[in-house]
Protein backbone atom coordinates (compact mmCIF):
# COMPACT_ATOMS: atom_id res chain seq x y z
CA UNK A 1 0.00 0.00 0.00
CA UNK A 2 1.40 3.39 -0.99
CA UNK A 3 1.13 6.15 1.60
CA UNK A 4 1.07 9.77 0.55
CA UNK A 5 3.82 11.82 2.10
CA UNK A 6 4.46 15.48 2.72
CA UNK A 7 7.66 17.34 3.34
CA UNK A 8 8.57 19.35 6.44
CA UNK A 9 11.64 21.55 6.32
CA UNK A 10 13.12 23.02 9.48
CA UNK A 11 16.22 25.11 9.96
CA UNK A 12 18.39 24.09 12.89
CA UNK A 13 21.92 25.07 13.86
CA UNK A 14 24.55 22.88 12.18
CA UNK A 15 25.76 21.58 15.56
CA UNK A 16 22.23 20.50 16.52
CA UNK A 17 21.75 18.76 13.16
CA UNK A 18 24.98 16.83 13.72
CA UNK A 19 23.79 15.91 17.22
CA UNK A 20 20.45 14.64 15.88
CA UNK A 21 22.17 12.73 13.10
CA UNK A 22 24.60 11.15 15.60
CA UNK A 23 21.79 10.03 17.92
CA UNK A 24 19.84 8.59 15.00
CA UNK A 25 22.94 6.72 13.84
CA UNK A 26 23.56 5.31 17.33
CA UNK A 27 19.95 4.09 17.38
CA UNK A 28 20.38 2.72 13.81
CA UNK A 29 17.40 4.70 12.53
CA UNK A 30 16.99 7.59 10.12
CA UNK A 31 16.79 11.21 11.26
CA UNK A 32 13.20 11.20 10.00
CA UNK A 33 12.33 8.21 12.19
CA UNK A 34 14.00 9.84 15.20
CA UNK A 35 11.91 12.99 14.69
CA UNK A 36 8.74 10.92 14.32
CA UNK A 37 9.57 9.00 17.51
CA UNK A 38 9.97 12.28 19.36
CA UNK A 39 6.66 13.52 18.01
CA UNK A 40 4.86 10.31 18.99
CA UNK A 41 6.36 10.50 22.48
CA UNK A 42 5.17 14.07 22.96
CA UNK A 43 1.61 13.56 21.76
CA UNK A 44 1.15 10.58 24.08
CA UNK A 45 2.90 12.15 27.06
CA UNK A 46 0.63 12.86 30.00
CA UNK A 47 0.98 16.45 31.12
CA UNK A 48 -0.02 17.89 34.47
CA UNK A 49 -3.26 19.88 34.61
CA UNK A 50 -1.52 23.27 34.42
CA UNK A 51 0.39 22.28 31.27
CA UNK A 52 -2.73 20.76 29.66
CA UNK A 53 -4.61 24.01 30.34
CA UNK A 54 -1.78 26.07 28.81
CA UNK A 55 -1.70 23.86 25.71
CA UNK A 56 -5.48 24.16 25.23
CA UNK A 57 -5.32 27.95 25.68
CA UNK A 58 -2.47 28.22 23.19
CA UNK A 59 -4.37 26.18 20.59
CA UNK A 60 -7.38 28.46 21.16
CA UNK A 61 -5.15 31.53 20.78
CA UNK A 62 -5.72 32.69 24.38
CA UNK A 63 -2.98 34.13 26.60
CA UNK A 64 -0.46 33.89 23.76
CA UNK A 65 2.44 36.33 23.75
CA UNK A 66 4.09 37.30 20.49
CA UNK A 67 7.68 38.43 20.12
CA UNK A 68 9.57 40.02 17.25
CA UNK A 69 12.71 38.01 17.95
CA UNK A 70 14.37 35.64 20.40
CA UNK A 71 15.88 38.55 22.35
CA UNK A 72 12.41 39.86 23.25
CA UNK A 73 11.33 36.37 24.30
CA UNK A 74 14.35 35.95 26.55
CA UNK A 75 13.85 39.37 28.11
CA UNK A 76 10.23 38.49 28.89
CA UNK A 77 11.28 35.20 30.46
CA UNK A 78 13.68 37.03 32.78
CA UNK A 79 10.84 39.18 34.21
Indicate the burial class of 54 (C-beta count within 10 angstroms; 0-12, 13-18, 19 or more).
Answer: middle
In degrees and rounded to multiples of 5, residue 66 shows phi and psi of -120, 140
pLDDT over threshold 70, residue 66:
yes
Determine what percent of the chain is predicted with pLDDT higher than 90.
53
**Does residue 19 lie within any of the structural domains?**
yes
Mean pLDDT score of the chain: 90
What is the domain extent for residue 60?
Answer: 46-79
Query: Global pTM?
Result: 0.53
Categorize the per-residue pLDDT at 19 as very low, low, confident or very high, splitting at 50, 70 and 90: very high
Are 24 and 39 in a shared domain? Answer: yes
pLDDT over threshold 80, residue 53:
yes
Are 15 and 40 in a shared domain? Answer: yes
Amino acid sequence: MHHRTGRITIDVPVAKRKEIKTHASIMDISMKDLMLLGYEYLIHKKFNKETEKAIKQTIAGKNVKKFNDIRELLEDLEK
